[in-house]
C-alpha cells in the first residue's frame, strides 16, 4: 500500500500519480486533487496501475452525490460524482494536452459538450443476469449487475427494462439469448436479440419477447456475423433534420443530440468548402453521414460489411440515382473503388473503436481526395493515425471533439482534412 497524490487525468479510467521514487502510477477512478492510499495491481517497467483503497483527501471535483447506485461497480460509467461541466473540462484539457504533446497544428479546435448528460442513450446493450433480469457487466469482472433502470438511458429504453425483467423469468428459449439490445426511436422501441445459435427457435423466442414487451420491431443477430433477420416496422429516428429508418440490428449513434451536432459540422464544412461531386463513405453503416449530405453530391459510394445495415441503407436511399452500396470489407471495398477509378471529392471514414490496420489509412490517403473527414471514438488511435494523412500532404482544417458519451471517458473526434495543392516547379529564364 502506498500513498500518493493524483495530479491529472489520463485517457481511460485513470488519474495519474507517482510512487515515492517517481515512477508513474495510473490510478483507477482517480481525479486531480485526490490524495489516496492505493494498492499496486499491475507493475510494469515504466508505470504501474493501482486501485484506490481509501481516501485521505477527496478531490474538490468530487462534490456531487453518485448519480447512480451502481457507480464504481458497473463497467459503464466513469464519472459519477462530479459535475458535468467539470467532466467536460477534464476531457477538453486532455485533448489539448495530446495536441501539445504531439505538436499537431490545427487551424481551429472545438470541444462540443452534449446537450444532455443523463437520459441521452437511445441505444443500449444488456446481458441477462442470474435472476433473469437485464444486467450490465461489473467493472473488470465477469460478474453481472442486474438493473431496473439506467440513468444514462433514454425514456424509451427505461420504460422497457422493467417490462422485460418481468417476462424473461418465465420465458422458454431464453438460454439461446446471449445479449439484448434496445433502440428507442420516435415511433417506438425495437429489440435486437444476440443469440448463441441461429435458427427458427431463436426467431420464435425473439418474436415472443418483442410481442409481449410491446416492441415495434425485432432483429435476431449472431456474434461474429454481419447479418441479421428482422421483423416488424422499422424504428424511425430523426437526427439533424433527416429521418433514419432502421432495424435494431443496424448501428446508430447512441447520443442522438450530439450526433445531430456532428452531422451539422459535416454539412457546414461541405457548404463552406463548396464540396460536391463524388462522396466515398467508408464504414458507412446504413449511410449515417451520406444520408445527411445526399443533396450536396451527385454520386454516393458507401462501403459497409454489415448486410443488415446495407439493406436498411438501400431502403432509405431508394429511388435516388447514382447511389451505390458495397457490402464488402473496407479493404476489399477500397480495392474495388480503385479498380473502378472512382475519384472522390470527399472521403468520410468512421471506423469502429477497434483500430483498423495501417494499410487502410494508407489506401484512403492514396485515393488523393481533395477533402477527407476522419471520425473516431478512440482518441489515442485517432491521433496516431493522423500521421498517415499528414505524410500524404493533408493538413488539418478543423478538429472537433464531441462528448458523445457523457459520464464515460470516451470522446468522439472528427478531423477535417484538406489536401495540399501540388507544388509546381518554376523554370527561370536566363
C-beta separation of 345 from 301 below 8 A: no
The stretch 157-181 carries a mean pLDDT of 93
Q: Provide CB contacts within 8 A for 363, sequence distance 6+.
A: 331, 334, 335, 338
Task: Check residue 395 and give its pLDDT.
Answer: 92
Residue 188 cell numbers, joined: 417506438
- pLDDT above 90 (res 270): yes
Among 385, 404, 393, smallest CA distance to 415 is for: 385
Does pLDDT of 424 surpass 70? Answer: no
Residues 267 and 398 in one domain: yes
pLDDT at 304: 97
Whether 360 is in a domain gets the answer yes
**Is 218 within a domain?**
yes
Q: Are both 202 and 298 inside the same structural domain?
A: no
Task: Provide the pLDDT for residue 429.
Answer: 46
pLDDT tens string 315-326: 999 999 999 999
Quick check: is 296 in a domain? Answer: yes
Range of the domain at 209: 123-237
304: domain CATH number is 3.40.50.150
**Residue 426 falls within a domain, yes or no?**
no
pLDDT at 173 over 90: no
Is the domain of 105 the same as that of 151?
no
The mean predicted confidence, pLDDT, of the chain is 94
- Asked if the model's pLDDT at residue 334 lies above 90, the reply is yes
CATH number assigned to the domain comprising residue 47: 2.40.50.140
Lowest mean pLDDT among 130-134, 214-218, 265-269, 419-423: 419-423
Q: What is the mean pLDDT of residues 325-347?
A: 96
Residue whose cell numbers read 491521433: 383
According to the 3-state scheme, what is the secondary structure of 113-127? CCCCCCCCECEEEEE
> Rounded CA gap, 202 and 406, in Å?
34
Question: 407 with 260, same domain?
Answer: yes
Task: Note the pLDDT tens digit of each residue in 360-387.
Answer: 999 999 999 999 999 999 999 999 999 9
Do 340 and 322 share a structural domain?
yes
Q: Answer yes or no: are the C-beta atoms of 428 and 419 closer than 8 Å.
A: no
In the structure, how many helices (H) and strands (E) does the chain have?
A: 10, 23
Hey, is 234 helix, strand or coil? coil
Confidence check: pLDDT of 400 > 90? yes
Question: Would you say residue 243 lies in a domain?
Answer: no
Give CA–CA dist 377/367, Å, rounded: 24
Distance, in Å, from the CA atom of 192 to the CA atom of 206, rounded to the nearest integer, reads 8
For 32-79, write each residue's pLDDT tens digit.
999 999 999 999 999 999 999 999 999 999 988 878 999 999 999 999
Whether 427 has a pLDDT exceeding 90, the answer reads: no
**What per-residue confidence (pLDDT) applies to 67?**
86
102 inside domain: yes
Using the Cα atoms of residue 261, residue 267, residue 271 and residue 273 in order, give the sign of their dihedral.
Answer: positive
Into how many domains does the chain fold?
3
pLDDT at 430: 44
Whole-number Å distance between alpha carbons of 103 and 98: 8
Q: Choose one of 210, 237, 264: the last residue of a domain.
A: 237
Contact (Cβ atoms closer than 8 angstroms) between residue 275 and residue 296: yes
Would you say residue 68 lies in a domain? no
pLDDT class of 236 with cuts at 50, 70, 90: very high
What is the per-residue burial (b if ≥16 Cβ within 10 Å, else e) of 87-106? Answer: bbbbbbebbeebbeeeebee
Q: Are residues 14 and 138 located together in one domain of the fold?
A: no
**Distance in angstroms (rounded) separating the CA atoms of residues 189 and 389:** 40
180, 191 Cβ separation under 8 angstroms:
yes
Residues 283 and 376 in one domain: yes
- Rounded Cα–Cα distance for residues 184 and 213 (Å): 13
| 429 located within any domain | no
Average pLDDT over residues 16-27: 95
Q: What's the pLDDT at 425?
A: 58
Residues 111 and 146 in one domain: no
Contact 149, 137 (CB under 8 A): no
Judge if 267 and 218 occupy the same domain: no
Asked whether residue 269 falls in the same domain as residue 395, the answer is yes
Quick: pLDDT tens for 302-311.
999 999 999 9
Contact 217, 232 (CB under 8 A): yes
User: Using CA atoms, how far apart are residues 244 and 55, in angstroms rounded to an integer?
Assistant: 48
pLDDT of 423 strictly over 80: no
Claim to verify: residue 267 and residue 313 sit in the same structural domain: yes
162 neighbors 134 (Cβ within 8 angstroms): no
Q: Which residue, 311, 195, 335, 162, is CA-closest to 246?
A: 311
What do you get for the CA distance between the two ends of the chain, in Å?
A: 78
pLDDT at 332: 96
Assess whether pLDDT exceeds 60 at residue 426. Answer: no
Is residue 297 domain-shared with residue 374, that is, in the same domain?
A: yes
The pTM score is 0.94
Q: Please choose, from the candidates 281, 265, 264, 285, the residue with its C-alpha nearest in 3D space to the C-alpha of residue 352.
A: 285
Residue 170 has pLDDT above 90, yes or no: no
Domain boundary among 188, 205, 237: 237
Query: Cell numbers of 147, please?
Result: 438493473
Asked if residue 222 has pLDDT above 90, the reply is no
Q: For residue 74, give the 3-state DSSP assignment.
A: strand
pLDDT at 216 exceeding the cut of 70: yes
Specify whether the CB–CB gap between 68 and 38 falls below 8 A: no
- CATH number of the structural domain spanning residue 152: 2.40.50.1070
Q: Is residue 145 classed as helix, strand or coil in its secondary structure?
A: strand
Are the C-beta atoms of residues 93 and 101 closer than 8 Å to each other?
no
Amino acid at each position: 500500500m502506498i500513498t500518493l497524490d493524483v495530479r491529472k487525468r489520463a485517457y481511460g479510467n485513470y488519474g495519474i500519480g507517482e510512487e515515492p521514487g517517481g515512477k508513474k502510477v495510473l490510478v483507477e477512478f482517480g481525479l486531480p486533487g485526490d490524495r489516496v492510499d492505493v494498492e499496486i495491481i499491475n507493475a510494469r517497467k515504466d508505470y504501474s496501475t493501482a486501485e484506490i483503497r481509501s481516501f485521505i483527501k477527496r478531490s474538490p471535483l468530487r462534490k456531487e452525490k453518485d448519480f447512480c447506485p451502481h457507480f464504481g461497480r458497473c463497467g459503464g460509467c466513469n464519472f459519477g460524482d462530479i459535475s458535468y461541466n467539470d467532466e467536460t473540462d477534464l476531457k477538453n484539457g486532455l485533448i489539448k494536452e495530446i495536441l501539445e504533446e504531439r505538436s499537431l497544428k490545427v487551424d481551429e479546435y472545438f470541444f462540443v459538450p452534449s446537450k444532455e448528460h443523463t437520459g441521452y442513450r437511445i441505444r443500449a446493450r444488456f446481458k441477462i443476469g442470474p435472476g433473469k433480469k437485464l444486467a450490465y457487466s461489473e467493472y473488470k469482472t465477469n460478474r453481472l449487475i442486474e438493473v431496473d433502470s439506467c440513468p444514462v438511458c433514454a425514456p424509451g429504453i427505461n420504460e422497457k427494462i422493467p417490462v422485460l425483467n418481468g417476462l424473461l423469468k418465465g420465458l422458454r428459449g431464453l438460454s439461446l439469448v446471449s445479449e439484448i439490445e434496445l433502440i428507442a426511436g420516435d415511433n417506438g422501441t425495437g429489440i435486437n436479440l444476440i443469440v448463441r445459435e441461429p435458427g427458427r427457435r431463436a426467431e420464435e423466442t425473439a418474436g415472443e419477447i418483442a410481442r409481449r414487451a410491446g416492441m415495434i420491431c425485432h432483429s435476431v443477430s449472431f456474434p461474429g456475423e454481419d447479418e441479421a433477420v428482422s421483423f416488424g416496422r422499422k424504428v424511425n429516428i430523426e437526427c439533424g433534420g433527416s429521418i433514419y429508418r432502421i432495424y435494431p440490428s443496424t448501428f446508430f449513434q447512441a447520443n442522438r443530440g450530439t450526433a445531430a451536432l456532428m452531422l451539422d459540422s459535416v454539412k457546414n464544412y461541405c457548404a463552406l468548402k463548396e464540396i460536391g461531386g463524388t462522396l466515398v463513405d467508408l464504414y458507412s453503416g446504413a449511410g449515417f453521414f451520406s444520408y445527411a449530405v445526399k443533396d450536396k453530391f451527385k454520386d454516393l459510394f458507401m462501403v459497409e460489411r454489415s448486410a443488415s445495415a446495407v439493406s436498411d441503407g438501400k431502403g432509405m436511399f431508394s429511388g435516388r440515382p447514382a447511389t451505390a452500396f458495397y457490402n464488402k470489407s473496407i479493404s476489399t471495398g477500397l480495392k474495388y473503388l480503385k479498380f473502378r477509378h472512382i475519384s472522390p471529392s470527399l472521403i468520410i471514414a468512421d471506423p469502429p473503436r477497434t483500430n483498423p490496420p495501417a494499410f487502410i489509412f494508407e489506401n484512403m490517403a492514396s485515393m488523393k481526395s481533395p477533402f477527407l473527414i476522419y471520425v473516431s471514438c478512440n482518441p489515442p488511435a485517432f491521433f496516431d493515425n493522423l500521421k498517415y494523412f499528414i505524410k500524404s500532404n493533408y493538413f488539418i482544417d478543423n478538429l472537433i471533439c464531441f462528448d458523445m458519451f457523457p459520464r464515460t471517458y470516451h470522446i468522439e473526434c472528427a478531423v477535417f482534412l484538406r489536401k495540399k495543392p501540388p507544388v509546381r516547379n518554376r523554370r527561370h529564364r536566363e
